[in-house]
């Protein structure tokens, strides 16, 4: 039981390049989330999904897109990376209604130069 895994662990991009971060969970959770962590700001929600085929915007969605084609996977895309997107990205999942505990992946450190 791996829990929540993220790929890749590290990435360096040049401004304007695109990339996709992959999150996978093996707990059969309905809800999945993408957060970014910046120094002194805690974690901020980018996008989330309440089930396969659904996505919704969080607090800081601009510059990102997401897809949830399979229940176990949640992809975060950057179409044209900017230096302001340099951050650590965390994926999380939760069971759904009635339970609010979220389980986090190990994070992806992204640097945009």
Partner 1 sequence: GNSVTQMEGPVTLSEEAFLTINCTYTATGYPSLFWYVQYPGEGLQLLLKATKADDKGSNKGFEATYRKETTSFHLEKGSVQVSDSAVYFCALSGVPQGAQKLVFGQGTRLTINP
- If binding is defined by CB under 8 A, does position 105 make contact with partner 1? yes
CA dist., res. 57 & res. 49, Å (int)? 9
Q: Which is nearer to partner 1, 17 or 50 (CB)?
A: 50
- If binding is defined by CB under 8 A, does position 8 make contact with partner 1? no
- If binding is defined by CB under 8 A, does position 1 make contact with partner 1? no
**Per-residue tokens: 85:** 């997107």
**Per-residue tokens: 81:** 């990376």
CA dist., res. 43 & res. 36, Å (int)? 6
Residues that bind partner 1 (CB under 8 A): 4, 31, 33, 40-45, 48, 50, 58, 90, 92, 94, 96-97, 100-107
């Amino acid at each position: 039981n791996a829990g929540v895994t993220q790929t890749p662990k590290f990435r360096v991009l040049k401004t304007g390049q695109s990339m996709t971060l992959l999150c996978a969970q093996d707990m059969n959770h309905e809800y999945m989330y993408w957060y970014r962590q910046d120094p002194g700001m805690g974690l901020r929600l980018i996008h989330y999904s309440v089930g396969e085929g659904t996505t919704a915007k969080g607090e800081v969605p601009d510059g990102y897109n997401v897809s949830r084609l399979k229940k176990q996977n949640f992809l975060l895309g950057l179409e044209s990376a900017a230096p302001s997107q340099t951050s650590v990205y965390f994926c999380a999942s939760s069971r759904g209604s009635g339970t609010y505990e979220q389980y986090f992946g190990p994070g992806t450190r992204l640097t945009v130069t």
